Amino acid sequence: MTSLFPSHDPAPALRRRVLGAIRAEPSPTRQTVRRRAWLLIGLGITVALTTFVQVGGIREYDRPTVLVVLTCLGWSVIASAAAWTGVARGSSMLGRSTASLVALIVATPLALLAWKVGVAVPFGPHMLAPWPTRPGFLCLWLSLAMAVPLLAAFVAVRRHSDPVHPGLAGAALGVTAGVAAGTLVDLWCPVGFVPHVLLGHILPLFAVAALGAWAGRRFLAP
């Protein structure tokens, strides 16, 4: 490739300076980073599961078990896909493409809402009936309480790993944490009323995504 511009060989003194600075500062190897990642993810999941158990765990109420299982299965599949795209980096040192991350952030809440409503419809209209005493704030706070530790773990795992679009990558981590938390909240919450789902189950995704975008800009860039 011809170059219009001259290349600039840095001076030997600069080489000595850079190598000296590198030697003066220890940094974790790949093995250490990997071990730390498993530990952090495990910790995040433990905190989320503990919160889930503390608030009562799985609650079916009048929901058929099949509906609970189907809803959870769908959300789990979406959470897995989100984790594969948002947390794993693929094979590139520059992270996932902007299009993949935007698709994850935009499509995930829509897919979750569609699945939640679509899978409940065949079980009768009462599955989508309003619960006046449950507008959705409890689910909102519970989602946030479980998603934030997961997000913190994801951000710690992916620290220094996205030089191109750290904010977007952070938002994707937020959505992934939100879906994972939402899967647990869905096991706990029997309400299928759409405004409740929007407020208590979908809105937290955007809130955690916004938090993730902030954390990403701050911590994900090398």
Partner 1 sequence: MSAQSDRPCERAFVSAALGADRGGTALDATGTRAAGDVAMERYAAGDDDAFEEVYDALAARVHGYLRHHVRDTHRCDDLLQETFLRMHRARGTFLKGGAVLPWAFAIARRLVLDQVRRDHRAARVVSEAVPALELAVSPVARPEQVVEARELADRLAATLARLPGAQRAAFELLKQEGLTLAEAAAILGVTVTAVKLRAHRAYASLRGTVGEHLGGLEETVRS
Chain residues binding partner 1 by CB under 8 A are: 1-10, 14-15, 17-19, 21-23, 25, 27-34, 89-94, 97-99, 158-161, 163-165, 168, 221-222
Cβ 193 to partner 1, closest distance in Å? 39
Cβ 30 to partner 1, closest distance in Å? 5
- Nearer to partner 1 (CB atom), residue 5 or residue 61: 5
- Nearer to partner 1 (CB atom), residue 14 or residue 39: 14
Cβ 7 to partner 1, closest distance in Å? 4
Are 116 and 71 within 8 A, CB to CB? yes
Cβ 35 to partner 1, closest distance in Å? 10
User: What's the rounded Cα separation, in Å, for the pair 182 and 75?
Assistant: 8
- Nearer to partner 1 (CB atom), residue 88 or residue 121: 88
Cβ 106 to partner 1, closest distance in Å? 16
Cβ 40 to partner 1, closest distance in Å? 13
SS (H, E, C) the chain: CCCCCCCCCCCHHHHHHHHHHHHHCCCCCHHHHHHHHHHHHHHHHHHHHHHHHHCCCCCCCCCCHHHHHHHHHHHHHHHHHHHHHHCCCCCCCCCCCHHHHHHHHHHHHHHHHHHHHHHHHHHCHHHHCCCCCCCCHHHHHHHHHHHHHHHHHHHHHCCCCCCCCHHHHHHHHHHHHHHHHHHHHHHHCCCCCHHHHHHHHHHHHHHHHHHHHHHHHHHCCC
- Nearer to partner 1 (CB atom), residue 2 or residue 133: 2
User: What is the CA 53 to chain-centroid distance, rounded?
Assistant: 21
- Nearer to partner 1 (CB atom), residue 15 or residue 59: 15
- Nearer to partner 1 (CB atom), residue 25 or residue 62: 25
Please choose, from the candidates 107, 132, 122, the residue with its C-alpha nearest in 3D space to the C-alpha of residue 196.
Answer: 132
